[in-house]
C-alpha cells in the first residue's frame, strides 16, 4: 500500500482557489503532485454529477474548493454550491459512496499555504484509505457505462 499514488481531482473556482493555488506556486510551497486541478468560473458551476464521473473514471479522491462564504466573485455562487452540496452529500451517502474521499473546502486567493495544506491532508487521507476499488463494485455495470459516457 505504501507506494500507492492516489489519483485526486480538484474542482476549483477561478477567482479564489485557482488563484490561491497560483499563490502556492509563487510562494514556492511544495505539495504532493497527486492532485490535478480543473478550473471552473465558480463553485456554482460545479455540477456534482461530475464527482460521480470522476469516481467512475478512477479517481481515488476529490477536492471541491472555492471562495469563502461572502467572497464569491459572483456574490452567491458558492452559497448555491453549498446548498446543493448538502443535498447531494445525503444522496451520495445513501448510495453508499465513501464520503471521506471528498474534501469540500474554501481557499481564498490569499491562502497559498492553506491550499498546500488542503492538498497534503487529502492526499495523506486517501493514501491511508487506499485505491477506491469499492466504487466499481457499488455501481452496476450498465449504470457505470451510462455515467462514463456522459
Binding interface with other proteins (CB under 8 A): 5, 7, 9, 14, 18-19, 21-26, 28-31, 33, 36-42, 44-48, 50, 53-54, 57-59, 70, 73-77, 80-81, 84, 116, 148, 150
Least distance (Å) between residue 75 CB and other proteins = 5
Max CA pair span of the chain: 46
Give which of 140, 129, 107 is closest to 31, Cα–Cα. 107
Residue closer to other proteins by CB (options 53, 125) is 53
Beta-carbon contacts of 103 under 8 Å, excluding residues fewer than 6 positions away, are: 61, 62, 63, 64, 65, 118, 121, 122
**Binding to ligand FES, residues 23-82 (CB under 6 A):** 42-44, 66-67, 72-74, 77-78
Q: Which residues face 37 on adjacent strands? A: 10
Q: And the C-alpha cell for 133?
A: 476499488
Nearest CA among 81, 136, 73 for reference residue 108: 73
Closer to ligand FES by CB, 73 or 136: give it. Answer: 73
Residue 41 beta carbon to ligand FES: minimum distance, rounded to whole angstroms: 7
Residues at the interface with ligand FES (CB under 6 A): 13, 15-16, 42-44, 66-67, 72-74, 77-78
Amino acid at each position: 500500500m505504501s507506494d500507492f499514488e492516489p489519483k485526486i481531482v480538484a474542482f476549483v473556482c477561478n477567482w479564489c482557489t485557482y488563484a490561491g493555488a497560483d499563490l502556492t506556486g509563487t510562494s514556492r510551497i511544495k505539495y504532493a503532485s497527486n492532485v490535478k486541478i480543473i478550473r471552473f468560473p465558480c463553485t456554482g458551476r460545479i455540477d456534482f454529477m461530475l464527482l460521480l464521473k470522476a469516481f467512475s473514471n478512477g479517481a481515488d479522491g476529490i477536492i471541491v474548493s472555492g471562495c469563502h462564504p461572502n467572497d464569491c466573485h459572483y456574490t452567491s455562487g458558492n452559497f448555491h454550491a453549498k446548498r446543493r452540496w448538502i443535498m447531494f452529500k445525503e444522496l451520495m451517502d445513501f448510495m453508499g459512496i465513501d464520503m471521506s474521499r471528498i474534501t469540500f473546502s474554501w481557499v481564498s486567493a490569499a491562502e497559498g499555504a492553506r491550499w498546500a495544506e488542503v492538498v497534503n491532508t487529502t492526499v495523506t487521507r486517501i493514501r491511508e484509505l487506499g485505491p477506491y476499488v469499492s466504487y466499481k463494485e457499488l455501481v452496476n455495470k450498465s449504470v457505470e457505462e451510462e455515467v462514463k459516457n456522459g
